[in-house]
Structure 1
């Protein structure tokens, strides 16, 4: 039997890929892997680690539309989760970056909190016990 498939990247639309990539690099310690033109005359920034990344996409000027509540949208992106070693430190760093950390939850297998970025995208920060 072959090895299980690995998730390489997720691609989603933001209003400013460069600005989103910057705060992700600052908060998560990631780096920009690639930038350039992409589908529909758009622009993408790939940000993450050497093995996994997020593709941040913006279509040509004026193409970004407000989104509905993704939890009620079939196929919607509900949130993106990142794992950290020190959730208390990350909560402080998220607040210092200008985002509002949400409620803190402790349940198996770890601790977590959520925040929304400038585009309204929800992020989950997890620390496993």
Structure 2
């Protein structure tokens, strides 16, 4: 069986984004340290998969319209046990959940964090 191990996303501050993802989703930092091109990377997630958060540490280009850019990252989706509790944490963290939808076989909402990364939060009943 094949499974996704990680995705790698460029952010302004890997440590701050890692803290946010840990607070919202109960994840932990798996590794952090120096990265290519004098950058820094933090791996945050579960024991089975993670998001690699990378930064050059200097000026970076702003967000792009990912849905119109080939190879753009459109969103990261996470599955949670309790959608309402997770949404409450998202709101307490200062984000505005939107695009709520019920669909077969679950329920979801989205929010965009400060790097411009859209995150889909889904629950399968």
TM-score, length basis structure 1: 0.93
Q: Across the two proteins, how many residue pairs are aligned to each other? A: 125
Q: Residues 12-55 of structure 1: CA distance to partner in whole angstroms, max 9, x if unpaired?
A: 10000000000111110000011111111110000001111110
Where 1:88 maps in the other structure, the secondary structure is helix
Give the Å deviation of 1:60.
Answer: 3.5
Aligned equivalents of 2:99 and 2:73: distance in 1? 20
- Structure 1 unaligned blocks of 5 or more: none
Structure 1 runs of 4+ with >2 Å offset: none
Q: Which has the larger radius of gyration?
A: 1
Where 1:47 maps in the other structure, the secondary structure is strand
Match of 2:107 among 102, 111, 121: 111
Does residue 32 of structure 1 match 2:29?
Answer: yes
1:19-58 correspondence runs (5 A): 19-58=16-55
Aligned equivalents of 2:74 and 2:95: distance in 1? 18
- Structure 2 unaligned blocks of 5 or more: none
Give the Å deviation of 1:103.
Answer: 2.7
**Contact 1:40/1:60 (8 A) holds in 2:** no
